[in-house]
Structure 1
Amino acid sequence: MNYAKIRKFDVSNGPGVRTTLFVSGCTNNCEGCFNRELQDFNYGDKWTKEKEDEFLSFVKNENVVGVNILGGEPMDQVKDKDLHNLLKRIKEETNKSIWLWSGYIYEDIISNSNKNEILTYVDVLIDGRFQLDKRNISLKYRGSSNQRVIDIAKSREHNKVIELEI
């Protein structure tokens, strides 16, 4: 996996102070994408064990309440286990909340074993492709009105999409 950027302390994505990872690579090609350069799977730097350890050290900071995973497309990170391993470590070592943004919808993610494996560690999924014609800058945590902010634990428990009350 390659990554484009890490924000040690991020207050612009998700609630509270969070540590954010922008992965490289996306096959969605959404019109109006604001991270177009991150669509290239070779963009940025190679993810390493050292980078993973450093990222975890940021997450373990007492001021950090959780993690954001954006891209690129996190659910396209299935060619290796790098993202899966990172999310697993976050849960095992910190149990802090993980929010993940994906152009794929929840129903498609859970029907794909590789993507669902990543979702296992996610607390909140913001799903759906950004749609320029549905762009709405007043929405919290998402860019277009078709996107949903999903509580994964409740959705799995009720076997249907349960959106997070914001």
Structure 2
Amino acid sequence: MISVLDIVEDTMVDGPGFRTSIYCAGCRHACPGCHNPQSWDFSGGHPMSTEQIMRIIEADPYANVTFSGGDPMYQPEGFTELARTIRQRTSKDIWCFTGFTFETLINNPRHRQLLELIDVLVDGPFIKSLRDESLLFRGSSNQRLIDVPASLKAGKVVLFEPDV
């Protein structure tokens, strides 16, 4: 089960192309200037099973998937199960937004399981003083678009360069 705040279909702001974005409830980063502070409350969402979410994801064969929030890394088991099911049943790519850094996540076994199923990680907290509206798919210049499979293989962060 995942505590879901909202699911937005056919969005184009959470990664390239059309996406189905799963916004989870709960975040302890509390970044000043966060564009989604209503997602901080861990009790603000409603529980959804992997199958309930998959019905929405599979209804649009052309949209890829984004995990956002809140912060999906506070619910790693639920999102790992969802990502594994997406991998088994579709060819969709998976992006994930988190306030944690890749370097922190990679050293936690619960988070690493999820990372191994993600294509692109947008990492790092939003920092208001580093806000940059010209950046694609992120709000502040400290946040990175990380090619997760390449990074895991290289043993270091490899940045993702979008084609948009």
The TM-score, its normalising length taken from structure 1, stands at 0.91
Indicate which of 76, 81, 84 corresponds to 2:80. Answer: 84
Q: Are 1:58 and 2:56 counterparts?
A: yes
1:95 deviates by: 2.8
1:57 deviates by: 2.8
Match of residue 16 from structure 2? 15
1:41-120 to 2 correspondences below 5 Å: 41-47=42-48, 49=49, 52-60=50-58, 61-64=60-63, 66-78=64-76, 81-120=77-116
The one-letter code of the counterpart of 1:70 is: S
Report percent identity of matched pairs.
Answer: 34
Give distance in 1, aligned partners of 2:12 and 2:144: 20
- Structure 1 segments unaligned to the other structure (5+ residues): none
Q: CA RMSD in A?
A: 1.2
The one-letter code of the counterpart of 2:109 is: S
* 1:73-98 Cα distance to aligned partner (Å, 9 max, x none): 111114xx322211110111103100
Q: Which moved more, 1:35-44 or 1:100-109?
A: 35-44
The one-letter code of the counterpart of 2:113 is: E
- Secondary structure of the structure 2 residue equivalent to 1:136: coil
The one-letter code of the counterpart of 1:16 is: G
Indicate which of 130, 149, 162 corresponds to 1:153. Answer: 149
The TM-score, its normalising length taken from structure 2, stands at 0.92
Give distance in 2, aligned partners of 1:55 and 1:77: 15
- Secondary structure of the structure 2 residue equivalent to 1:95: coil
Instruction: Tell me the matched-pair count.
Output: 160
